[in-house]
Structure 1
Amino acid sequence: MKIRYTILTVVMLALTSSCELDQVNPNAAAGEQVIGTREGIVALSIGLRQYYSTTGLSSVILASSTTAREMKGFATFTTVLELEAGGADLPTANAGILNYWSAMQRVMTMCEDVIDNAPQITSIEPALLSGIMGQAYLFKAMALAELAMAFPQANISTDVSAPVQFVARPQVFAEAIRLLDLGVSAVTATPPDASFTSAIAGPDFDLVNTLYAMEARINLMAGNYQKALDNANLVDLAKTSRFAYTTQSPNPLYTLFNVTKSYVPRDNFGLPANLYYAGDQRYNFYFNGIKTVVGGEVTVGLTGFAASQTTPIPVYLTDEIKLIKAEAILRLNGSLSDALAQINAVRTQISGDPFGVNAGLPPYAGEVTSDALLLEVYKQRCAELYLSGLKWEDTRRFNRPAPPADLSERNRIFYPYPDQERLNNPNTPEDPAI
């Protein structure tokens, strides 16, 4: 598949046909003719982050959060009903899967254009260039990780001349980590200056800490637990990183739940009773308490990071980093008391979280064994990181009940490849059974 020439058309057709999550990206670069100029690279750098934070997150959250049973699709549109049902009959023509695949391919293309062209432009100052390169490495790595979370194989680059090749998802994670390493090296060798913040990143987006946070997140997924722990320890928990929104480029969670209204949050984070803690104050952050029975299930209104069109969404949560530390320690057979301390730092927080996501629970009182604490980490992640797009991957890593026998926590293991990819690329692998 000649992705660079075709993928934007695919994305626009997919989003137009679904009529669900179309997002405006006013800062996108106008065309390939501008990527040889300083102004063009700056515009593309702004545009790629904005595209990821709107269209990219829309596609990821819609699909994976439905598959992971965090939200319920109830509208009578085919795409919605198919994602909600999941299982072996989820068709390859599903528009939600196409949007997910296409959006991440588009992010990769934009990042590759920056990576290939920015170093050749001599008018870009070194301290601006390091930020531009670090951000491009970051978002390509994040796009690759999203593909690896949804498909058993994926491409690790786009191509204008030949159908792309696929590699197994451990190699996709490995490439994402390699890119993050390059990003860290770029911003360490030449720290980005105020020109990067003012021209591209804006005051809410912290590139350096986001690189370390994604190193921690993706290394954890890849099973590189020591590297996950090391990078989690480098994240400055006193700082935050957020995607900012405007009424022209609105918050995708707000759009999903307040404009399209095809999906509703399942009550209690969509968790079975044995995984949900009554009295968890994060419920009051994420939900407005207005409950409705939809299709025989209790659903609830959403607030939190979906409160308005302009509510920012965190790139990562401070408590995600604490839970990464706890999980990595446990999987390295480290100190149970150290892992428990990180868990309790999340559980018992009554106030002070920079995003207001405070659990307010009593200290953990269960068995202090590796298996029991890992289950507690999973429970905390399900509540803390609600609608972050991470739960589906967590269900695999924590070996949770799986379809087709049990649909309580996920209704697919991986997605089939979209028809559009298979029609254009003979290298497309066989679809997973479920």
Structure 2
Amino acid sequence: MKHIIKALCLLVLLNACQKGEINSLNTPVVTGITGNPTRSDLFNLATGAESGMRNSIGFYLDGTGIISREIYRFSSSEPRYTTDLLGGGTKVLDNNTFYLTNPWAARYQVMRQCFILLEALAHTSAAVANDAQKKGFSGYAKTLIGYQLLLNINMTDSNGARIPVANGVAQGPVITNPGIVLDSVLKFLDDGKADLTGADVIFPLSDGFAGFKDATGLLKFNRALAARVHIYRKEWTAALTALNESFFDLNGDLNNGVWHYFSTSGGDLANNSFIAPNSNGEVRIAHPSYATDIIPGDDRINKTQVRQSSASQSGLTGNRDVVIWTSLNAPISIIRNEELVLIYAEANIQSGNFPNAIVALNRIRTAHNLPAYTGAVTTAALTTELLYNRRYSLFMEGHRWIDVRRYGLLGTLPIDRPDDNVWSRYPLPQSESNQ
């Protein structure tokens, strides 16, 4: 815990070097951190990057969840949850407001901090960290850069993103081909894999990385993220290869994985995505289709809870609170084994290996109180079954919008008011457009 608190202090120090949003990855930093780093400096940079990944993650999950009609977010102080994000009336997504700029800037801040760590490693003496220990730091930093860039290109898609670069290197242009950005995501992940192979991890991580705090664990985390990217790119064989190097376990604990860790301890960050059931004023409720579309008996209905009275705002109504986060201390998933089992199923479906896919789908079905699959054994039918299970297993983990977009199914999402829209991507932030 004390390492996370120290890391938060370091983030404040680094942010004090600039004003406003993070418009550049090249802002000068305190030279003492990179010029002659101590082991404590390296530890704080590493744990600060982990801590920073939590910043504005709630805005990312709410925004993608609203657009994909997983949830409604009612707020007495913020109408844009039910206007802009749903395309209410004449409203469109704003390129200079909190639901875009906050998570976007937070992700680039983490990438920037990771580059600061990489720069510091280049000036780290052998007495502070040996070569294997330096590889642990660098592999971790490159893994996080890849992951954070992935979240941003998930938001903006063909509106583009900038490939992060080291301090002092001129930034390149906005890349509007998401495939090229994903190339960079994989390059960071693959470079991280190479560094983590044979590395020694000496820096502390929170309990969100429980079971993954050494080089072997971080390498498995890295490969799990790579498997996610490969299915986005329809690289089915590569996805299966990455899964084999990850913590994928067909018969293992579906919740095993890496999580954002939160705490109400002094100086740490609480999970502000938690909203108590039956709250008023601030409400997060499941879209009504969550309950109407679920198969009777599916225990994933318990990710929601019936309210004592329905909640309404702007012509929208729902009666089930989202209860996947149960307290201010509750963790938020980064990647879990349940997702990996579904990646395994998807890669096998799209490769024509239907028996393997059905085994994986049945692993998910039976875990959630459903009988084994008895539908048609075709690519189309099994893909429908896959997407049903991704919808309910990964509810509010940031996947639904990306899934319907990559399968060309945005038009199947419900329109709740006559003038609403389903957005396919966020605009590029104004801060990027102005550069």
Interval containing the TM-score (normalised by the shorter chain): 0.7 to 0.9
Aligned to 2:373, the other structure's residue is in SS state coil
Structure 1 position 139, deviation (Å): 1.1
Question: 1:8 & 1:225 partners in 2: Cα distance?
Answer: 43
CA RMSD in angstroms, aligned pairs only: 3.2
For 1:156-305, what aligned pairs fall within 5 Å after superposition? 156-158=163-165, 162=170, 164-167=172-175, 168-188=177-197, 190-193=198-201, 195-197=202-204, 203=210, 205=212, 206-236=217-247, 237=249, 238=252, 240-247=257-264, 248-254=268-274, 262-267=282-287, 270-271=289-290, 273=292, 275-284=293-302, 286-290=303-307, 292-295=310-313, 296-304=316-324
One of 148, 157, 161 as aligned partner of 2:153? 148
Question: Where do 5+ consecutive residues of structure 1 fail to align?
Answer: 14-29, 350-358, 426-434
2:400 maps to: 391
Q: Tell me which amino acid in the other structure corresponds to 1:45.
A: A
Question: 2:383 & 2:360 partners in 1: Cα distance?
Answer: 12
Judging changes above 3 Å, is the alpha-carbon distance between structure 1 residues 161 and 179 closer, same or farther for their aligned structure 2 residues? closer
One of 398, 404, 410 as aligned partner of 1:401? 410
Cα pair 2:262 2:269 within 8 Å, conserved:
yes
Question: 1:94 & 1:257 partners in 2: Cα distance?
Answer: 28
Aligned to 2:370, the other structure's residue is in SS state coil
Judging changes above 3 Å, is the alpha-carbon distance between structure 1 residues 163 and 82 closer, same or farther for their aligned structure 2 residues? farther
Aligned to 1:124, the other structure's residue is in SS state coil
2:26 maps to: none
Judging changes above 3 Å, is the alpha-carbon distance between structure 1 residues 79 and 257 closer, same or farther for their aligned structure 2 residues? farther
- Is it true that 1:111 corresponds to 2:121 in the alignment? no
Q: Tell me which amino acid in the other structure corresponds to 2:99.
A: G
Q: Tell me which amino acid in the other structure corresponds to 2:389.
A: Q
Structure 1 position 276, deviation (Å): 2.2
Q: Tell me which amino acid in the other structure corresponds to 2:341.
A: K
Question: 2:20 & 2:141 partners in 1: Cα distance?
Answer: 22
1:137-180 deviation digits (Å, cap 9, x = unpaired)? 11111111112111111111146575641112101111111111
Structure 1 position 253, deviation (Å): 2.6
Q: So what's the TM-score if we normalise by structure 1?
A: 0.80
Question: 1:263 & 1:360 partners in 2: Cα distance?
Answer: 29
One of 370, 387, 396 as aligned partner of 1:361? 370
Question: 1:42 & 1:228 partners in 2: Cα distance?
Answer: 32
Question: 2:425 & 2:92 partners in 1: Cα distance?
Answer: 13
Q: Which moved more, 1:87-96 or 1:165-174?
A: 87-96
Aligned to 2:257, the other structure's residue is in SS state coil
Q: Tell me which amino acid in the other structure corresponds to 1:389.
A: G
1:203-226 deviation digits (Å, cap 9, x = unpaired)? 354422211110111111122221
Structure 1 position 369, deviation (Å): 0.8
Aligned to 1:374, the other structure's residue is in SS state helix
Structure 1 position 344, deviation (Å): 0.6
Between the aligned residues of both structures, percent identity stands at: 20
Judging changes above 3 Å, is the alpha-carbon distance between structure 1 residues 12 and 418 closer, same or farther for their aligned structure 2 residues? closer
Question: 1:48 & 1:212 partners in 2: Cα distance?
Answer: 19
Structure 1 position 116, deviation (Å): 2.8
Question: 2:329 & 2:279 partners in 1: Cα distance?
Answer: 14
Judging changes above 3 Å, is the alpha-carbon distance between structure 1 residues 72 and 200 closer, same or farther for their aligned structure 2 residues? closer
Question: 1:198 & 1:106 partners in 2: Cα distance?
Answer: 19
Q: Tell me which amino acid in the other structure corresponds to 2:381.
A: A
Q: So what's the TM-score if we normalise by structure 2?
A: 0.79
One of 350, 356, 366 as aligned partner of 1:338? 356
2:5 maps to: none
Structure 1 position 319, deviation (Å): 1.3
Aligned to 2:95, the other structure's residue is in SS state coil
Question: 2:319 & 2:407 partners in 1: Cα distance?
Answer: 26
1:35 maps to: 34
Bigger helix share = 1
Structure 1 position 255, deviation (Å): 6.5
Structure 1 position 8, deviation (Å): 6.2
1:69 maps to: 69
Question: Where do 5+ consecutive residues of structure 2 fail to align?
Answer: 1-13, 24-28
Question: 2:98 & 2:71 partners in 1: Cα distance?
Answer: 18
1:17 maps to: none
Structure 1 position 365, deviation (Å): 2.0
Aligned residue pairs, count: 387
1:37-56 deviation digits (Å, cap 9, x = unpaired)? 1322210110111110x214
1:229-281 deviation digits (Å, cap 9, x = unpaired)? 1111222335532322211311243269999964412156x5484x4222211
Aligned to 1:91, the other structure's residue is in SS state coil
Aligned to 1:289, the other structure's residue is in SS state strand
